[in-house]
Amino acid sequence: MSLLELIAAADERGLAASAVACLDRCLPQPADGSDPEPLRPLWAGCADGSVWPERLAEVCAALDAAADTEGAAPQIRKLLGDAPVDLAAPELREWADTCSLLALEVHLGQDATPPAGDEAVRRCREAGPEGAGPLLAGEVRRQIQILEMLAETADAARAGAGLRQVLDVSTEGQRILRAAASRRARGRG
């Protein structure tokens, strides 16, 4: 299935967790003394939708207080502010799709040799990562893997099954993106 098809088929838990994972990967390296995992409270909200509203408010307040203006941080704050408070809301799918797009655009922007034009992200979402740069292709594969893992564990949503594996995949993706951003910054400096 394509990335767009997987997003269209995902349940509420899958949409919330994949969106949080996308945003988590795009956070810039935290400043000294900052919370290294500011979105961590939202993972509990993905496992138990009843705590989502308070966890979302907690994360939004923490990110607003940090007021980081580096990289995708302002866009992440805006997306979190736009997040549905109710995971059963019809807007959840649209929000998860927007989070997916942001992650793909951030990865495309860090690719050493990004493909020309805006078509790369659209093509990857519809047909797969072939022909994309390594960071964009890796992010497309990562998003597909995460949505597939969440679909496989949909029956065990109450126990948070699968979320630990998703978090591990996402953390590795975050490490890769931060390393690429660091290399690009050193190359310009």
**What confidence tens digit (pLDDT) does each residue in 28-39 have?**
877 666 666 889
What pLDDT digit, counting tens, does each position of 48-75 carry?
A: 889 999 999 999 998 888 777 777 889 9
CB atoms within 10 A of CB 57: 13
The residue with greater pLDDT, 33 or 110, is 110
Predicted confidence (pLDDT) at residue 159 exceeds the cutoff of 50: no
How many CB atoms are closer than 10 A to CB 158?
A: 9
Confidence of residue 116 (pLDDT cuts 50, 70, 90): low
> Is residue 66 within 8 Å of 38, Cβ to Cβ?
yes
Q: How far apart are CA 139 and CA 35, in angstroms?
A: 24
What is the domain extent for residue 153? 3-188
Q: Give the number of domains in the chain.
A: 1
Q: Give yes or no for a contact between 151 and 15, defined as CB atoms under 8 angstroms apart.
A: no
H-only helix segments in the chain: 3-9, 12-26, 40-47, 52-66, 73-82, 91-110, 119-127, 134-152, 163-188
